[in-house]
Amino acid sequence: MGAVAPPSEEGMVFQFAPGMPGLTRKENKDVYINTQVADFQEEMLAFYEAYLSICDDPGLIENSRFALTSETARGFSVFMETVSNLPHAPWAVKGQVTGPITMGIGMKDQAGKLLFYDEQMRDIVTKQVAMKALWQVSQLSRLDCDHPPIIFLDEPGVVGFGSSTYISITREQIVESLGTCIDAIHKGGGVAGIHICANGDWSLALASGTDIINFDAFSYFDRLILYKDELKTFIKNGGILAWGIVPTSSPEYIDSASTDSLYTMWSEQLAQLESLGIARDKILSQTLITPSCGTGSLDLEHAVKVLKLTRDLSLKIRETLN
């Protein structure tokens, strides 16, 4: 396996920023958009021309400005190489991009204004994320899995919706941005998911048109279940729940977790969903088991345990309920 780039190069925002007009990097490696550079208008025109061309012919995404680069996303190429060399192709594979809301409030312009607050820059951020997601679909589709690739939009930024910090961001803006990215994933033949690893307004994600909702079932199931009507509609329409029930937030939680303890927790949550009037068989047929969040901040021992717990819990559910 190849070397993995340092965190500063594969940051949550920076790895998906190359290709944006006006992208500028500071000496400390932070990035921002400078709309006052002399050629910004020309860069913006080239950005939109590339976007529209790909909308007409998705095959053009391959070597476009929206491709992930080896400098900022080395882990992706390592993943592709590793999966390609497996003796058998997986059932499916999953990619992930930073979502448009998180990207838009994670980057600023030269004046320090968050990009999502500017209508033009919000549109650019949204289309940038949509194209990065489409590019991943095109790459992961080469792995010849049994099912289409899954692409998650990582959206911790949605958690802040409704707070004083983001008071001028509207529900419609969020749903529209998410919808644009989801449409791009679907157009490429992928399955779209939204990952939020904390508490937030789940009605936004449930109304976005996504195929999968990935939530922290270990810590926040009691908040998700409050959205009864939205959940019922989402599941009725075929939406998939990815239960992030294997803890990742601290080594202590991971150490104390076992397959049996997590199965007990999940069974109790399943019963609560059933109590809303949703058939158990339908819930089970639209369920995935996942870690509550990523394992990148964990040491190897705990990361491996998280993955083993995820596998073992999924197997136990299948064996017990089938």
Whether residue 290 contacts residue 244, with contact meaning beta carbons closer than 8 Å, is answered with: yes
Residues 237, 256: Cα–Cα separation, whole Å: 36
Tokens of 168: 């001028």
Other Cβ atoms closer than 10 A to 138: 20
SS (H, E, C) 245-290: EECCCCHHHHHHCCHHHHHHHHHHHHHHHHCCCCCHHHHHHCEEEE
| Closest C-alpha among 9, 34, 30 to residue 20 | 34
Any idea how long the chain is?
322
pTM of the predicted model over 0.85: yes
| Closest listed residue to residue 220, CA positions, set 198, 246, 205, 195 | 198
pLDDT, tens only, 228-256: 999 999 999 999 999 999 999 999 999 99
Least confident of 51-55, 91-95, 145-149, 162-166: 162-166
Q: What is the structure's pLDDT at 40?
A: 97
Tell me the pLDDT band of 7, cut-offs 50, 70 and 90. very low
Q: Which of 242, 255, 256, 245 is nearest to 313 (CA)?
A: 245
Share of residues in the chain with pLDDT > 70 (%)? 95
Q: Give tens-digit pLDDT for 25-73.
A: 887 668 999 999 999 999 999 999 999 999 999 999 999 999 998 888 8
Instruction: Check whether 11 has a pLDDT greater than 90.
Output: no
**Which amino acid is residue 264, in one-letter code?**
T
Write out pLDDT tens, residues 167-201. 788 999 999 999 999 999 999 999 999 999 888 78
91-321 has CATH 3.20.20.210 classification: yes
